[in-house]
């Protein structure tokens, strides 16, 4: 048996064999932190900044999403939209309307229980098996990166709404990269990138890199930088995730020295986030 680094909880050794180092710990710890945020909330009907949802609705959405991803990891068929950002957003609203629980304690418990269920499911099944997820086919390790990304984004929203520290850290952002690289081509905004031909090299401070090539409405993403990039972006990791999830603006982040862009076409730097449409 091995103990997790963040929670001190014992998990099977197979967790570390099938998932990237630290991912099981991060999934469980992030779920626990979100649960604590909810337990501290005095008003589950409070608005969430930048969202049409309340604290209770965000929590309910997280509970539903964690359950869905745990079931997908267990090999159970689940449908949730057709993979496009628009259909996933519509499916989110429909699912939320059909689920009336808004209590802090029940939702906190479900978020933690279903995060644990994901890790347990991965420990018992092949990590490389392709699964159908709301964002298209991916293996169980990338699904875990997806689960973590989703919790970090909405956990950040809850922390802002409740005036508490958020759980987005550089170490956790590094664990979201497999999902981000997998998902970017699927959330590329064809209307915004029609006619665009550009090559980007993206570097996260402290490690982590990928390249994106846009070709007339489509994007190809690789862990390696393209040859002769038109624009190189160097970005602080937490800022990268928050910007990718639409929680902060590129212009403000550049003004605060958290993002730098250079190359043959440096003006492409601030435009980069506009080329994607997240669910």
Q: Please state the rounded mean pLDDT for residues 73-89.
A: 87
> Mapped to the 3 state alphabet, what secondary structure does 181-246 carry?
HHHHHHHECHHHHCCCEEEEEEEECCCCEEEEEEECCEEEEECCCCCCCCEEEEECHHHHHHHHCC
Domain with CATH 3.30.1050.10 in the chain: 188-275
- CATH number at 2-182: 1.20.120.450
Structure tokens at 14: 């197979």
Rounded to two decimals, what is the model's pTM? Answer: 0.91
Helices (H), 52-84: 55-73
Q: Given pLDDT bands bounded at 50, 70 and 90, which one contains residue 78?
A: confident
Which architecture does CATH list for 188-275? 2-Layer Sandwich (3.30)
pLDDT at site 10:
41
pLDDT digits (tens, 9 = 90+) for 218-267: 999 999 999 999 999 999 999 999 999 999 988 889 999 999 999 999 99
CATH 1.20.120.450 residue ranges of the chain are 2-182
pLDDT tens per residue across span 164-182: 999 999 999 999 999 999 9
pLDDT in tens, 83-129: 788 889 899 999 999 999 999 999 999 999 999 999 999 988 887 88
pLDDT at res. 14? 41
pLDDT of residue 17: 57
């Amino acid at each position: 048996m091995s103990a997790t680094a963040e929670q001190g909880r014992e998990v099977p050794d197979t967790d570390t064999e099938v998932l990237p180092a630290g991912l099981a710990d991060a999934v469980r710890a992030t779920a626990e932190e979100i649960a604590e945020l909810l337990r501290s909330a005095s008003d589950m009907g409070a608005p969430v900044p930048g969202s049409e949802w309340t604290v209770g609705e965000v929590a309910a959405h997280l509970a539903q999403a964690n359950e869905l991803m745990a079931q997908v990891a267990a090999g159970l068929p689940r449908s949730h939209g057709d993979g496009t950002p628009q259909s996933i957003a519509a499916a989110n609203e429909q699912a939320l309307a059909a689920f009336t629980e808004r209590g802090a304690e029940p939702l906190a418990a479900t978020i933690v229980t279903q995060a644990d269920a994901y890790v347990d499911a991965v420990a018992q099944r092949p990590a490389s098996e392709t699964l159908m997820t709301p964002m298209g086919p991916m293996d169980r390790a990338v699904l875990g990166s997806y689960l973590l990304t989703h919790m970090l984004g909405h956990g950040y929203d809850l922390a802002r709404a409740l005036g508490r520290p958020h759980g987005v850290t550089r170490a956790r952002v590094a664990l979201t990269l497999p999902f981000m690289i997998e998902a970017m081509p699927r959330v590329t905004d064809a209307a915004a990138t029609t006619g665009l031909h550009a090559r980007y090299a993206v570097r996260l401070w402290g490690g982590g890199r990928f390249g994106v090539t846009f070709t007339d409405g489509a994007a190809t993403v690789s862990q390696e930088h393209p040859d002769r990039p038109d624009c190189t972006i160097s970005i602080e990791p937490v800022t990268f995730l928050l910007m990718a999830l639409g929680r902060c603006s590129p212009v403000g982040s550049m003004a605060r020295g958290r993002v730098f862009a250079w190359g043959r076409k440096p003006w492409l730097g601030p435009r980069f986030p506009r080329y994607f449409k997240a669910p």
